Protein backbone atom coordinates (compact mmCIF):
# COMPACT_ATOMS: atom_id res chain seq x y z
CA UNK A 1 0.00 0.00 0.00
CA UNK A 2 1.10 3.58 -0.70
CA UNK A 3 2.18 4.87 2.78
CA UNK A 4 2.10 8.53 1.80
CA UNK A 5 -0.72 10.63 3.25
CA UNK A 6 -1.65 14.14 2.22
CA UNK A 7 -3.45 16.39 4.72
CA UNK A 8 -5.04 19.64 3.56
CA UNK A 9 -5.12 22.23 6.38
CA UNK A 10 -2.62 23.10 9.14
CA UNK A 11 -5.22 24.06 11.74
CA UNK A 12 -5.70 21.82 14.78
CA UNK A 13 -7.07 18.62 13.23
CA UNK A 14 -4.45 18.31 10.46
CA UNK A 15 -1.27 18.58 12.57
CA UNK A 16 -2.77 16.39 15.33
CA UNK A 17 -3.37 13.73 12.70
CA UNK A 18 0.16 14.22 11.38
CA UNK A 19 1.52 13.54 14.88
CA UNK A 20 -0.35 10.25 15.19
CA UNK A 21 0.26 9.09 11.63
CA UNK A 22 4.00 9.54 12.00
CA UNK A 23 3.92 7.32 15.08
CA UNK A 24 2.15 4.67 13.01
CA UNK A 25 4.78 4.83 10.27
CA UNK A 26 3.13 6.99 7.60
CA UNK A 27 4.94 9.57 5.54
CA UNK A 28 2.93 12.77 5.93
CA UNK A 29 2.62 15.92 3.82
CA UNK A 30 0.50 18.88 4.98
CA UNK A 31 -0.53 21.67 2.63
CA UNK A 32 -1.82 24.91 4.12
CA UNK A 33 -3.36 27.57 1.93
CA UNK A 34 -2.19 30.45 4.14
CA UNK A 35 1.42 31.52 3.81
CA UNK A 36 2.01 30.76 7.50
CA UNK A 37 0.19 29.61 10.60
CA UNK A 38 -2.92 31.68 11.07
CA UNK A 39 -2.75 33.87 14.16
CA UNK A 40 -6.31 35.24 14.43
CA UNK A 41 -8.97 34.07 16.90
CA UNK A 42 -8.88 33.60 20.64
CA UNK A 43 -9.08 30.72 23.12
CA UNK A 44 -9.94 27.19 22.25
CA UNK A 45 -10.59 24.67 24.99
CA UNK A 46 -9.66 21.01 25.23
CA UNK A 47 -12.09 18.82 27.11
CA UNK A 48 -13.20 15.29 27.90
CA UNK A 49 -11.78 12.50 25.72
CA UNK A 50 -9.54 15.03 23.96
CA UNK A 51 -7.70 15.63 27.26
CA UNK A 52 -6.77 11.96 27.31
CA UNK A 53 -5.56 12.11 23.70
CA UNK A 54 -3.44 15.14 24.60
CA UNK A 55 -2.00 13.28 27.59
CA UNK A 56 -1.10 10.34 25.34
CA UNK A 57 0.68 12.81 23.05
CA UNK A 58 2.64 14.09 26.05
CA UNK A 59 1.28 17.61 25.55
CA UNK A 60 -0.93 18.21 28.59
CA UNK A 61 1.75 20.02 30.60
CA UNK A 62 2.59 22.14 27.54
CA UNK A 63 -1.05 23.14 27.17
CA UNK A 64 -1.14 24.10 30.83
CA UNK A 65 2.10 26.08 30.54
CA UNK A 66 0.84 27.95 27.46
CA UNK A 67 -2.67 28.49 28.90
CA UNK A 68 -4.30 31.90 28.72
CA UNK A 69 -4.40 32.26 32.51
CA UNK A 70 -8.13 32.83 32.57
CA UNK A 71 -9.30 32.29 36.15
CA UNK A 72 -13.02 31.98 35.47
CA UNK A 73 -16.09 33.51 33.86
CA UNK A 74 -17.95 36.54 35.19
CA UNK A 75 -21.24 37.79 33.77
CA UNK A 76 -21.31 41.55 34.19
CA UNK A 77 -23.83 44.37 33.93
CA UNK A 78 -23.57 47.83 32.28
CA UNK A 79 -21.30 49.13 35.07
CA UNK A 80 -19.08 46.05 35.03
CA UNK A 81 -20.54 44.75 38.31
CA UNK A 82 -20.65 40.98 38.68
CA UNK A 83 -23.99 39.26 38.15
CA UNK A 84 -22.61 35.74 38.60
CA UNK A 85 -19.08 34.34 38.69
CA UNK A 86 -17.83 30.83 37.93
CA UNK A 87 -14.26 29.79 38.66
CA UNK A 88 -12.28 27.88 36.01
CA UNK A 89 -12.78 24.13 36.08
CA UNK A 90 -10.39 21.79 37.82
CA UNK A 91 -11.53 18.70 35.92
CA UNK A 92 -11.32 17.46 32.33
CA UNK A 93 -14.75 18.45 31.04
CA UNK A 94 -16.67 20.98 33.17
CA UNK A 95 -16.80 24.75 33.38
CA UNK A 96 -17.55 27.81 31.27
CA UNK A 97 -13.80 28.37 31.53
CA UNK A 98 -12.29 24.92 30.97
CA UNK A 99 -9.20 23.71 32.79
CA UNK A 100 -7.25 23.89 29.52
CA UNK A 101 -7.78 27.13 27.59
CA UNK A 102 -5.12 28.06 25.06
CA UNK A 103 -4.96 30.61 22.26
CA UNK A 104 -5.76 28.77 19.05
CA UNK A 105 -2.67 30.22 17.39
CA UNK A 106 -0.39 28.95 20.20
CA UNK A 107 -1.94 25.51 20.05
CA UNK A 108 -1.42 25.35 16.28
CA UNK A 109 2.17 26.49 16.81
CA UNK A 110 2.78 23.81 19.46
CA UNK A 111 1.48 21.11 17.10
CA UNK A 112 3.66 22.44 14.30
CA UNK A 113 6.71 22.38 16.60
CA UNK A 114 6.02 18.77 17.50
CA UNK A 115 5.50 17.55 13.94
CA UNK A 116 7.65 19.64 11.63
CA UNK A 117 10.71 17.39 12.16
CA UNK A 118 8.99 14.54 10.35
CA UNK A 119 6.15 16.14 8.39
CA UNK A 120 6.55 17.86 5.05
CA UNK A 121 4.69 21.17 5.61
CA UNK A 122 3.99 23.26 2.53
CA UNK A 123 2.57 26.69 3.33
CA UNK A 124 1.00 28.84 0.64
CA UNK A 125 -0.03 25.68 -1.21
CA UNK A 126 -3.34 23.94 -1.83
CA UNK A 127 -4.94 21.09 -3.70
CA UNK A 128 -6.26 21.96 -7.10
CA UNK A 129 -7.47 18.56 -8.24
CA UNK A 130 -7.74 15.00 -6.96
CA UNK A 131 -7.95 12.03 -9.34
CA UNK A 132 -8.79 8.94 -7.34
CA UNK A 133 -7.44 5.57 -8.49
CA UNK A 134 -7.39 1.96 -7.34
CA UNK A 135 -3.89 2.15 -5.78
CA UNK A 136 -3.48 5.85 -5.05
CA UNK A 137 -5.01 9.27 -5.47
CA UNK A 138 -3.20 11.56 -7.89
CA UNK A 139 -3.17 15.10 -6.56
CA UNK A 140 -2.42 18.19 -8.59
CA UNK A 141 -1.40 21.18 -6.46
CA UNK A 142 -2.03 24.82 -7.25
CA UNK A 143 1.74 25.21 -7.61
CA UNK A 144 1.58 22.87 -10.58
CA UNK A 145 3.18 19.72 -9.10
CA UNK A 146 1.40 16.33 -9.34
CA UNK A 147 1.99 13.58 -6.73
CA UNK A 148 0.44 10.28 -5.65
CA UNK A 149 -0.85 9.54 -2.14
CA UNK A 150 -2.46 6.48 -0.53
CA UNK A 151 -4.88 8.69 1.42
CA UNK A 152 -5.96 12.32 1.19
CA UNK A 153 -7.40 13.96 4.33
CA UNK A 154 -9.35 17.20 4.00
CA UNK A 155 -8.96 18.99 7.34
CA UNK A 156 -9.29 22.48 5.95
CA UNK A 157 -12.05 23.95 8.08
CA UNK A 158 -15.70 24.84 7.97
CA UNK A 159 -15.51 26.53 4.58
CA UNK A 160 -13.43 23.80 2.92
CA UNK A 161 -13.47 24.25 -0.82
CA UNK A 162 -11.67 20.93 -1.35
CA UNK A 163 -14.56 19.20 0.44
CA UNK A 164 -17.07 20.90 -1.80
CA UNK A 165 -15.08 19.90 -4.89
CA UNK A 166 -15.07 16.21 -3.89
CA UNK A 167 -18.39 15.84 -2.06
CA UNK A 168 -20.46 18.64 -3.57
CA UNK A 169 -22.26 21.21 -1.40
CA UNK A 170 -22.84 19.63 2.02
CA UNK A 171 -25.84 20.47 4.21
CA UNK A 172 -25.24 23.20 6.76
CA UNK A 173 -27.27 24.40 9.72
CA UNK A 174 -27.01 28.16 10.25
CA UNK A 175 -27.37 29.11 13.93
CA UNK A 176 -28.50 32.69 13.31
CA UNK A 177 -25.58 34.21 15.22
CA UNK A 178 -22.37 35.83 13.94
CA UNK A 179 -19.15 36.23 15.90
CA UNK A 180 -16.21 38.59 15.48
CA UNK A 181 -12.88 38.13 17.28
CA UNK A 182 -10.02 40.59 17.66
CA UNK A 183 -7.64 41.83 20.34
CA UNK A 184 -7.16 45.17 22.10
CA UNK A 185 -4.48 46.49 24.47
CA UNK A 186 -4.80 45.37 28.08
CA UNK A 187 -5.22 48.20 30.59
CA UNK A 188 -4.59 48.59 34.32
CA UNK A 189 -8.19 47.81 35.20
CA UNK A 190 -8.28 44.46 33.42
CA UNK A 191 -8.12 41.27 35.42
CA UNK A 192 -7.84 37.63 34.40
CA UNK A 193 -11.55 36.88 34.32
CA UNK A 194 -13.59 36.24 31.18
CA UNK A 195 -16.15 39.06 31.32
CA UNK A 196 -19.40 38.47 29.47
CA UNK A 197 -21.86 41.30 28.88
CA UNK A 198 -25.32 41.08 27.29
CA UNK A 199 -27.03 44.02 25.61
CA UNK A 200 -30.56 44.08 24.22
CA UNK A 201 -30.84 43.54 20.49
CA UNK A 202 -29.32 40.06 20.72
CA UNK A 203 -25.78 41.38 21.28
CA UNK A 204 -22.97 40.18 23.54
CA UNK A 205 -19.51 41.56 24.23
CA UNK A 206 -16.91 39.43 25.93
CA UNK A 207 -13.40 40.29 27.06
CA UNK A 208 -10.89 37.55 27.82
CA UNK A 209 -7.33 37.68 29.11
CA UNK A 210 -4.51 36.08 27.16
CA UNK A 211 -0.89 35.24 27.95
CA UNK A 212 0.62 37.86 25.63
CA UNK A 213 -0.58 40.95 27.45
CA UNK A 214 -3.68 41.68 25.42
CA UNK A 215 -7.43 41.34 25.85
CA UNK A 216 -9.35 39.18 23.39
CA UNK A 217 -12.66 40.69 22.38
CA UNK A 218 -15.57 38.71 21.05
CA UNK A 219 -18.64 40.45 19.67
CA UNK A 220 -21.58 38.20 18.90
CA UNK A 221 -25.01 39.07 17.63
CA UNK A 222 -28.08 37.64 16.05
CA UNK A 223 -27.71 37.90 12.31
CA UNK A 224 -28.15 36.17 9.02
CA UNK A 225 -25.40 34.54 7.01
CA UNK A 226 -22.96 37.36 6.35
CA UNK A 227 -19.54 37.32 8.02
CA UNK A 228 -19.02 40.41 10.20
CA UNK A 229 -17.25 43.48 8.84
CA UNK A 230 -15.80 46.41 10.71
CA UNK A 231 -18.31 49.10 9.70
CA UNK A 232 -21.27 46.86 10.35
CA UNK A 233 -19.91 45.99 13.81
CA UNK A 234 -19.37 49.67 14.66
CA UNK A 235 -22.96 50.40 13.70
CA UNK A 236 -24.48 47.40 15.47
CA UNK A 237 -22.69 47.85 18.80
CA UNK A 238 -22.60 51.68 18.98
CA UNK A 239 -25.39 51.83 21.59
CA UNK A 240 -24.72 48.50 23.34
CA UNK A 241 -23.43 50.12 26.54
CA UNK A 242 -21.15 48.40 29.08
CA UNK A 243 -17.72 47.73 27.49
CA UNK A 244 -18.96 48.67 23.98
CA UNK A 245 -17.18 51.99 23.59
CA UNK A 246 -13.81 50.50 24.62
CA UNK A 247 -14.35 47.45 22.39
CA UNK A 248 -15.25 49.63 19.40
CA UNK A 249 -12.31 51.98 19.97
CA UNK A 250 -10.07 48.92 19.83
CA UNK A 251 -11.85 47.58 16.77
CA UNK A 252 -10.86 50.64 14.77
CA UNK A 253 -7.15 49.75 15.25
CA UNK A 254 -7.41 45.95 15.27
CA UNK A 255 -5.33 44.21 12.63
CA UNK A 256 -6.49 40.73 13.64
CA UNK A 257 -10.25 40.87 13.03
CA UNK A 258 -11.65 37.41 12.27
CA UNK A 259 -15.31 36.56 12.04
CA UNK A 260 -17.88 34.07 10.95
CA UNK A 261 -21.60 33.47 10.75
CA UNK A 262 -22.03 30.33 12.84
CA UNK A 263 -23.12 27.28 10.93
CA UNK A 264 -22.80 23.60 11.54
CA UNK A 265 -21.56 21.29 8.81
CA UNK A 266 -23.60 18.13 8.48
CA UNK A 267 -21.81 16.09 5.81
CA UNK A 268 -23.88 12.95 5.17
CA UNK A 269 -20.70 10.91 4.56
CA UNK A 270 -17.12 11.59 5.49
CA UNK A 271 -15.26 9.66 2.83
CA UNK A 272 -15.22 8.99 -0.89
CA UNK A 273 -12.65 6.59 -2.30
CA UNK A 274 -9.27 7.53 -0.83
CA UNK A 275 -10.42 10.94 0.38
CA UNK A 276 -11.70 11.53 3.93
CA UNK A 277 -12.96 14.55 5.85
CA UNK A 278 -11.72 15.51 9.33
CA UNK A 279 -12.46 18.26 11.86
CA UNK A 280 -14.59 21.30 11.06
CA UNK A 281 -14.56 20.36 7.35
CA UNK A 282 -16.53 17.22 8.23
CA UNK A 283 -18.72 18.26 11.13
CA UNK A 284 -18.15 21.83 12.36
CA UNK A 285 -20.20 21.99 15.56
CA UNK A 286 -19.34 25.72 16.01
CA UNK A 287 -17.67 27.38 19.01
CA UNK A 288 -20.98 27.48 20.91
CA UNK A 289 -20.88 23.69 21.16
CA UNK A 290 -17.74 24.06 23.31
CA UNK A 291 -16.33 21.05 21.45
CA UNK A 292 -14.87 22.15 18.10
CA UNK A 293 -11.25 21.60 19.07
CA UNK A 294 -11.92 18.55 21.23
CA UNK A 295 -13.74 16.85 18.35
CA UNK A 296 -10.84 17.63 16.01
CA UNK A 297 -8.34 16.04 18.41
CA UNK A 298 -10.42 12.94 19.13
CA UNK A 299 -11.27 12.61 15.43
CA UNK A 300 -7.62 12.82 14.39
CA UNK A 301 -6.43 10.16 16.84
CA UNK A 302 -9.33 7.87 15.91
CA UNK A 303 -8.70 8.21 12.17
CA UNK A 304 -4.98 7.49 12.67
CA UNK A 305 -5.78 4.42 14.77
CA UNK A 306 -8.17 3.07 12.17
CA UNK A 307 -5.60 3.59 9.43
CA UNK A 308 -3.09 1.70 11.59
CA UNK A 309 -5.23 -1.40 11.93
CA UNK A 310 -6.77 -1.66 8.44
CA UNK A 311 -5.01 -2.48 5.21
CA UNK A 312 -7.48 -0.69 2.96
CA UNK A 313 -8.41 2.96 3.61
CA UNK A 314 -12.04 2.11 2.84
CA UNK A 315 -12.23 -0.09 5.97
CA UNK A 316 -10.38 2.48 8.07
CA UNK A 317 -12.77 5.23 6.99
CA UNK A 318 -15.80 3.05 7.75
CA UNK A 319 -14.49 2.29 11.25
CA UNK A 320 -13.66 5.96 11.86
CA UNK A 321 -17.11 7.15 10.87
CA UNK A 322 -18.90 4.37 12.78
CA UNK A 323 -17.07 5.19 16.00
CA UNK A 324 -17.13 8.96 15.74
CA UNK A 325 -20.44 9.92 14.20
CA UNK A 326 -22.58 9.38 17.35
CA UNK A 327 -20.14 11.54 19.36
CA UNK A 328 -20.20 14.28 16.72
CA UNK A 329 -23.99 14.22 16.45
CA UNK A 330 -24.26 14.51 20.21
CA UNK A 331 -21.98 17.54 20.16
CA UNK A 332 -24.02 19.11 17.38
CA UNK A 333 -27.25 18.73 19.37
CA UNK A 334 -26.98 22.00 21.22
CA UNK A 335 -28.92 22.57 24.45
CA UNK A 336 -32.46 23.87 23.74
CA UNK A 337 -32.45 27.57 22.82
CA UNK A 338 -28.68 27.71 22.11
CA UNK A 339 -27.34 30.13 21.02
CA UNK A 340 -30.40 32.41 20.98
CA UNK A 341 -31.12 32.18 24.74
CA UNK A 342 -27.71 33.73 25.36
CA UNK A 343 -28.62 36.56 22.95
CA UNK A 344 -31.92 38.02 24.24
CA UNK A 345 -33.38 40.75 22.07
CA UNK A 346 -35.36 42.78 24.62
CA UNK A 347 -34.33 44.51 27.86
CA UNK A 348 -36.75 42.19 29.66
CA UNK A 349 -35.04 39.20 28.08
CA UNK A 350 -31.64 40.45 29.28
CA UNK A 351 -33.04 40.96 32.80
CA UNK A 352 -34.50 37.43 32.83
CA UNK A 353 -31.21 35.94 31.65
CA UNK A 354 -29.40 37.77 34.43
CA UNK A 355 -31.87 36.47 37.01
CA UNK A 356 -31.25 32.94 35.75
CA UNK A 357 -27.49 33.46 35.95
CA UNK A 358 -27.77 34.74 39.55
CA UNK A 359 -29.65 31.54 40.46
CA UNK A 360 -27.05 29.33 38.77
CA UNK A 361 -24.30 31.37 40.42
CA UNK A 362 -25.76 30.53 43.83
CA UNK A 363 -25.43 26.77 43.20
CA UNK A 364 -22.46 24.82 44.57
CA UNK A 365 -19.55 25.32 42.11
CA UNK A 366 -19.40 21.63 41.15
CA UNK A 367 -23.09 21.65 40.17
CA UNK A 368 -22.86 24.96 38.29
CA UNK A 369 -19.71 23.77 36.49
CA UNK A 370 -21.55 20.74 35.17
CA UNK A 371 -24.30 22.96 33.73
CA UNK A 372 -21.71 24.53 31.44
CA UNK A 373 -20.13 21.17 30.49
CA UNK A 374 -20.54 19.97 26.90
CA UNK A 375 -20.73 16.19 26.31
CA UNK A 376 -16.99 16.00 25.62
CA UNK A 377 -16.50 12.95 27.84
CA UNK A 378 -19.15 10.85 26.08
CA UNK A 379 -16.63 8.94 24.02
CA UNK A 380 -14.55 5.94 24.92
CA UNK A 381 -11.21 6.15 23.17
CA UNK A 382 -10.74 3.03 21.06
CA UNK A 383 -8.11 0.54 22.09
CA UNK A 384 -5.77 0.84 19.11
CA UNK A 385 -2.20 -0.43 19.35
CA UNK A 386 -0.33 2.29 21.21
CA UNK A 387 2.47 3.84 19.19
CA UNK A 388 5.78 4.50 20.90
CA UNK A 389 5.82 7.13 23.68
CA UNK A 390 5.81 10.80 22.75
CA UNK A 391 9.22 12.32 22.26
CA UNK A 392 10.43 15.91 22.67
CA UNK A 393 9.98 18.65 20.15
CA UNK A 394 12.09 18.09 17.08
CA UNK A 395 11.45 21.55 15.70
CA UNK A 396 12.16 25.08 16.74
CA UNK A 397 9.40 27.64 17.33
CA UNK A 398 11.63 30.46 16.20
CA UNK A 399 11.33 29.52 12.55
CA UNK A 400 7.54 29.33 12.65
CA UNK A 401 6.02 31.36 9.83
CA UNK A 402 2.92 33.32 10.79
CA UNK A 403 0.02 34.64 8.78
CA UNK A 404 -3.60 35.56 9.35
C1 LIG B 1 -8.02 31.74 11.96
C2 LIG B 1 -8.95 30.92 12.81
C3 LIG B 1 -9.30 31.36 14.08
C4 LIG B 1 -10.17 30.62 14.87
N5 LIG B 1 -10.49 31.09 16.11
C6 LIG B 1 -11.29 30.37 16.90
C7 LIG B 1 -11.63 30.85 18.21
O8 LIG B 1 -11.20 31.90 18.63
N9 LIG B 1 -12.45 30.08 18.98
C10 LIG B 1 -12.94 28.88 18.52
O11 LIG B 1 -13.65 28.21 19.26
N12 LIG B 1 -12.61 28.41 17.31
C13 LIG B 1 -11.82 29.11 16.49
N14 LIG B 1 -11.51 28.63 15.24
C15 LIG B 1 -12.04 27.33 14.82
C16 LIG B 1 -11.31 26.18 15.51
O17 LIG B 1 -9.94 26.25 15.22
C18 LIG B 1 -11.88 24.85 15.00
O19 LIG B 1 -13.27 24.82 15.29
C20 LIG B 1 -11.31 23.60 15.66
O21 LIG B 1 -10.09 23.79 16.30
C22 LIG B 1 -11.18 22.49 14.61
O23 LIG B 1 -10.07 22.77 13.81
P24 LIG B 1 -9.83 22.33 12.32
O25 LIG B 1 -8.37 22.02 12.25
O26 LIG B 1 -10.80 21.31 11.89
O27 LIG B 1 -10.16 23.63 11.44
P28 LIG B 1 -9.46 25.06 11.45
O29 LIG B 1 -8.89 25.39 12.76
O30 LIG B 1 -10.45 25.98 10.86
O31 LIG B 1 -8.22 24.89 10.43
C32 LIG B 1 -8.37 24.71 9.05
C33 LIG B 1 -7.08 25.11 8.34
O34 LIG B 1 -7.21 24.81 6.95
C35 LIG B 1 -6.70 25.89 6.18
N36 LIG B 1 -7.33 25.88 4.86
C37 LIG B 1 -8.55 26.34 4.50
N38 LIG B 1 -8.78 26.08 3.20
C39 LIG B 1 -7.69 25.43 2.73
C40 LIG B 1 -7.35 24.86 1.47
N41 LIG B 1 -8.18 24.93 0.44
N42 LIG B 1 -6.15 24.25 1.34
C43 LIG B 1 -5.28 24.17 2.40
N44 LIG B 1 -5.56 24.69 3.62
C45 LIG B 1 -6.76 25.30 3.79
C46 LIG B 1 -7.03 27.11 7.01
O47 LIG B 1 -6.21 28.21 6.67
C48 LIG B 1 -6.77 26.60 8.43
O49 LIG B 1 -5.42 26.78 8.78
C50 LIG B 1 -10.68 29.37 14.39
C51 LIG B 1 -10.32 28.91 13.13
C52 LIG B 1 -9.45 29.68 12.33
C53 LIG B 1 -9.07 29.16 10.96
Instruction: Give the model's pLDDT for residue 227.
Output: 78
Which of 8, 11, 208 to mutate to test ligand 1, by most ligand atoms within 8 A of the CB atom? Answer: 11
User: In CATH, which superfamily holds the domain spanning 4-69+102-171+263-336?
Assistant: FAD/NAD(P)-binding domain (3.50.50.60)
Q: What does the pLDDT read at residue 2?
A: 84
For the chain, the domains span 4-69+102-171+263-336
Q: What are the pocket residues of ligand 1 if the criterion is a CB atom closer than 6 Å to any ligand atom?
A: 8-14, 31-34, 38, 40-42, 44, 104, 126, 155-157, 160-162, 181, 258, 279-280, 287, 292-293, 296
Is the pLDDT at 225 greater than 80? The verdict is no
pLDDT given for residue 56 in this prediction: 95
pLDDT recorded at residue 39: 87
**Mean per-residue pLDDT over the chain, rounded:** 93
Alpha helices in 211-290 (DSSP H): 230-237, 244-253, 280-283
- 128 CA to middle of ligand 1, Å? 19
pLDDT of residue 394: 35
CA of 241 to the centre of ligand 1 (A): 31
Q: Of all atoms in ligand 1, which is nearest to the CA of residue 286?
A: 19
The per-residue pLDDT for range 134-158, each reduced to its tens digit, is 999 999 999 999 999 999 999 999 9
Assessment of whether the complete model's pTM goes beyond 0.75 = yes
pLDDT value at 297 more than 80 = yes
Q: Provide the pLDDT confidence category of residue 240 given band limits of 50, 70 and 90.
A: very high
Share of the chain above pLDDT 90, in %: 87
| Ligand 1 centre distance from Cα of residue 304 (Å) | 20
The minimum-distance atom of ligand 1 relative to the CA of 8 is 43
Residues 6+ apart with CB under 8 A from 223: 176, 177, 178, 261
- Supply the DSSP string of 4-53, one letter for each residue: EEEEE--SSHHHHHHHHHHHTT-EEEEEESSSSEE----EEE--THHHHH
Q: Best mutation site among 102, 156, 158, 262 for ligand 1, i.e. most ligand atoms within 8 A of its Cβ?
A: 156
The pLDDT > 70 percentage for the chain reads 96
> Lowest-confidence range among 204-218, 287-301, 328-342, 388-402?
388-402
Residue 171 has pLDDT above 50, yes or no: yes
Amino acid sequence: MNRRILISGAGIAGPTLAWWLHRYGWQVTVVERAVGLRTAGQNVDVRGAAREVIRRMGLDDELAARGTGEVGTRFVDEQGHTIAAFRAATSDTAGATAEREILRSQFAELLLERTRGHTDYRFGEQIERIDDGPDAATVTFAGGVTERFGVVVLADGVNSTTRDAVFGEVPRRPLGVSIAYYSIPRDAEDDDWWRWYNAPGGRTISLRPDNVGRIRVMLSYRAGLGAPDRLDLQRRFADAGGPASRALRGLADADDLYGEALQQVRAPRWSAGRVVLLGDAAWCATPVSGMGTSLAIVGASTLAGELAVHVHPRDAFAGYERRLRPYVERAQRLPPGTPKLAHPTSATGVALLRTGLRLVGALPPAVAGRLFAPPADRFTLPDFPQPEAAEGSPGSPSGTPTGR
